[in-house]
Amino acid sequence: MKAQYIIQKEIRESILTPKGFLWYVFTSVILSILSYFFLTNNELSLLDQSQMLYMIMNFITVLGVLMGLVLGADVFAGEIERGTLEALFLSPVTKIEIAAGKLGAAMVNWWIIFAISLPYLFIVGKGGQNLLRGILYLGILGTLLSLTFSAFSMGLSARTKSMKNSLIISFFIFLLAGSPVFLSAALRMTWFGKILDLVNPFADAINTFDSVVIDSQGFSFQIERIAIICGYTFLSLWFLRRGASRLEI
Amino acid sequence: MKKLILVLSTFFLGIAVNYTSASAAGHITVSINPQSIQANMGDKITYVGTITNNADMAVDNIISYISLANVTLGKEAPMDLEDWSANKAIKIDTIPPHGTYEGKWPMRLINSGGYVAYITVVNKEDITPISSAMSYLEIKRVIRLNPNNVLPVAIGEPALIGGVFMFIAFKRKKG
């Protein structure tokens, strides 16, 4: 329940502020431009509906992960730099409850992005195959990935106590995780690409979207990849718990 | 004597090589169907390639692929078929003597203009690849301004979220 109080505080301070809410305006504008071009541009509009849906899903996932990383990096290091963590520690809330509350707020942020993206997903995927299944998988895997990367970034923030350092390291990890996007299809078929695809939670998520939306494959094909993502989620939560419990000012 | 043997050997070798080349080039033929198409952007068409083995022996492990070139005036360029969702190369294990193989290349027409498509067969036993005649493809442009009713969402949602943003900003300023 104390964690719930922290979530409410974070929502008030990070989300329901003009600066915080501006992110959602930008998210919506970017998604509008993207979906309009997907549907009207000469070449893009002739892609399969499922291909368009898959590309929009990837974009939303990247956006959610990125925002989770930025919010996570600010959590402890930002409070230390602003000199507000001491006051928070004086309140009758444990460090683990503070971490859980802040992680909860990061998840609320992801769910808002997901909710904003729903109309676009319906418009782009309308008439195509696997729309509802795609949205379900995006909801679940997006939540797991946001949880993973936000928790990792928060754990890092607690350890480095420097927002700049935790942001740089988080972005580095993000680029590494997003590297499958930059690899060509041929490179991804090499042993290096295959290993990178399997051990990388981000690649596991986009390959699952591909498998579900484009190839119409069932849940049994996704179990291995989802299990790997869940593994990373538990690992990140453990990393955050350890970092938060050892945090001293 | 040695010179004579050398000259004769070279002569017969030349005849043999020439004969092999001529027979290899002649024993496989390839045709493309339809020979011309007029369609709209977004349409799906299928090219059928018929590869015929005219020889008395089977041909094994041959590769066949389709090529597409833009021949619109001022836009002449070979096309990357990955964008057109066409099949990649087809490997044919064997075609029996005097037998035929029919390969299909479905294609989604993603841009307007004039194009030519042709099918090529590559047999490692032959010196030169064999190509079909060119099939002419005319694609008409199609413009869609509000497909899937995208405009209300594309304009309405940022406006709605922008409205909430203004409300929050106003409330904070007032408070």
**What is the structure's pLDDT at B21?**
37
Distance CA A77, CA A164 (A): 9
Residue B169 has pLDDT above 90, yes or no: no
Number of domains in chain A: 1
Given CB atoms, is B86 within the 8 Å cutoff of chain A? no
Torsion, Cα B163 A34 A135 A128, to 10 degrees, reads 130
Closest CA to A129 of A54, A24, A27, A196: A54
Residues of B with CB below 8 A from A127's CB? 148
Interface probe, candidates A45, A50, A52, A60, chain B, greatest B C-beta count within 10 A:
A45
Contact A110, A143 (CB under 8 A): yes
Provide φ and ψ at A246, rounded to 5°: -95, 0
Q: Any residues with CB less than 8 A from the CB of B149 and at least 6 apart, and which?
A: A123
CA distance B14 to chain A (A): 42
Confidence tier at B50 by pLDDT (50, 70, 90):
very high
| Amino acid in the structure at residue B77 | A
Pairwise CB contact (< 8 Å): B162 & A25 = yes
pLDDT at A2: 75
Q: What's the confidence (pLDDT) of residue A184?
A: 66
Q: How far is B119 from chain A (nearest CA, A)?
A: 24
Mean pLDDT, each 10-residue run in order, chain A (249 residues): 82 84 92 87 66 88 91 88 84 88 93 95 84 94 95 92 89 82 69 81 90 88 93 95 86
Q: Is A157:A98 a contact under the CB 8 Å cutoff? A: no
pLDDT at B19 over 70: no
Residue among B41, B150, B168 minimizing CB distance to A39: B150
Q: Do A43 and B111 touch (CB under 8 A)?
A: yes
Residue B107 Cα distances to A18, A129, B119, B143, angstroms:
49, 19, 14, 20
Hey, are the CB atoms on B168 and A28 less than 8 Å from each other?
no
Angstrom distance (rounded) from CA A9 to CA A76: 15
Is residue B22 predicted with pLDDT exceeding 60?
Answer: no
Kind of pairing between the strands at B135-140 and B113-122: antiparallel
pLDDT at A82: 86
| pLDDT per residue as tens digits for the range B115-147 | 999 999 999 888 899 999 999 999 987 766 667
Parent domain of A54:
2-245
Instruction: Give strand pairing partners of B49.
Output: B32, B103
Kindly provide the ipTM of the predicted complex, given to two decimals.
0.80
Residue B61: which of B124, B138, B126, B146 has the closest Cα?
B124
Distances in Å between the Cα of A207 and the Cα atoms of A49, A93, B143 are 17, 40, 32
- A56, A120 Cβ separation under 8 angstroms: yes
- pLDDT-based confidence at B29, cuts 50/70/90? very high
